Amino acid sequence: MPGNDRGNRAKSEEDADDLRLMQLVGRGDTGAFEQLIEKHQALVAGTVARMLGSNSDVEDIAQQVFIRLWKSARRYVPRAKFTTWLLKITRNLVFNEMRRTKRRAHVPLQSEPGAEDPPVKDEMNLAPDASLLETELQRTIEEAILQLPETQRMALVLRRYEQLSYEQIAEVLDLSVPAVKSVLFRARSELRSKLSKYLT
């Protein structure tokens, strides 16, 4: 399919660009380092936030990921896609943080008064606000994901939010592809049981 070819070509050009920037970073080029941060900050910060919950030190851990990148740039050998390697660093730091704080089930901070208060309902209109239900469901999904064991959580976040292939997830988690599929199956089953009241 020509569309697919175009997408693959764009992806491999992006990989080549990451590699070029990484070689420059290895020579101490701070401009190239800033470009890499700009390109991949959303991927790193998004993964950290979904793994640890948005009230954790997301920025701090994302920053640590890029500090690691800078420190290991000289020794970097492109055995896999750059983003796979970057997510591996992210995984290590996130798992360390989870073990360090022995995270309990994440409880969201109370929102500021009036920040997300539901709109006042017309007494006659008892139908629930669809967007409110959507928000509640989204929050419940995120809460349920935060209660999964670390490997299941990471596999699900990479698959669901970053659309990584099974092969890429296997590389990030140091697992085989069948093991990744099995981890994802367990994670989804767990989520389904936690979200059963929404699925009836």
Q: What average pLDDT is seen over the chain?
A: 83
Res. 120 pLDDT band, cuts 50 70 90:
very low
* pLDDT tens by residue, 85-115: 999 999 999 999 988 876 444 544 433 444 4
pLDDT at res. 199:
67
Q: How confident is the model at residue 14 (pLDDT cuts 50, 70, 90)?
A: confident
Residue 33: pLDDT band with limits 50, 70, 90: very high
CA angle 187, 191, 192 (to 5 degrees): 115
Distance CA 177, CA 179 (A): 5
Q: Check: pTM over 0.85? Answer yes or no.
A: no
- All structural domains of the chain, each given as residue ranges with its CATH number in brackets, are 1-103 (1.10.1740.10), 130-200 (1.10.10.10)
pLDDT at 108: 46
Residue 122: the pLDDT is: 42
Residue 6 pLDDT = 65
What is the C-alpha to C-alpha distance for residues 33 and 27, in angstroms, rounded to an integer? 10
pLDDT band at residue 1 using 50, 70 and 90 as cut-offs: low
pLDDT digits (tens, 9 = 90+) for 130-180: 677 777 778 888 888 989 999 999 999 999 999 999 999 999 999 999 999
Closest C-alpha among 167, 147, 170, 145 to residue 156: 145
pLDDT band at 5 (very low <50, low <70, confident <90, very high): low
